[in-house]
Amino acid sequence: MTDLVTIAQAIAIMIACWAIISGVGAWKREFIGKRKIELAEETLAVFFEVKDAISFIRNPWSSGTDGSTRKRAPHETEAESQLLDRGYIVFERYESKKDIFVRFNTMKYKFMAVFGTETETIFQDTNKTLNSIFSSANMLATHYWQRQGHVKMEPDEFQEHLDEMHKHEGIFLDRYNENDERAPRITRGFQ
């Protein structure tokens, strides 16, 4: 009879251990799941802030003082300065929203560690979008707007100039609808 009691006690202890282990496992899975959801929510919220910041940067409306913090070269004419200042607007606006982009980029490695390295494309697309905006602003201010009306061109060369200028303006300024292929990808949302 004592053998039967000992066996019953051993079985009860094993069942209790199994219940504790499975309970801890369930708690751990729930805790990890909750942390994943919180990280995903936080990253998505910051992504939407980034999207709004990019829309702000690309806003076509500006005051007469936008772009005026750019350091001017001593040889610039007033007309050149105005064009270069217009292109510099995106850099000023970026500086005012820089903290959002820094916060988004610091989340990158934590997000990749939890959700996998393939999620890096979200962050890469954001940086590509910013780079294309800065590049287009620079090209417009230093090349296309400077040449407009000042350099004699053949009709086909002028049309090519206009097409390229409009392409860069579509990236630089948010004047097109969300489905426009010239708009940076990030402004069209997740795809």
For residue 99, what pLDDT is reported?
95
Q: Is 49 exposed, middle or buried (0-12, 13-18, 19+ CB in 10 A)?
A: middle
| Contact status, residue 141 vs residue 87, Cβ threshold 8 Å | yes
Query: Looking at residue 103, what is its pLDDT?
Result: 93
| Amino acid type, 3 | D
CA atoms within 13 A of residue 85's CA, in its CB half-sphere: 17
What is the predicted pLDDT for the residue at 19? 67
- In terms of residues, how long is the chain? 191
pLDDT of residue 98: 93
Q: Which amino acid is at 150?
A: H
Low-confidence residues in the chain, pLDDT < 50: 182, 187-191
Global pTM reads: 0.69
Determine the Cα–Cα distance for residues 116 and 113; give it in Å rounded to an integer.
Answer: 6
CA distances from 35 to 81, 100, 103 (A): 51, 22, 18
Report the alpha-carbon distance of residue 54 to residue 45 in Å, rounded.
Answer: 14
* Residue 182 · residue 170 · CB < 8 Å: yes
pLDDT at 104: 92
50: number of Cβ within 10 Å: 22
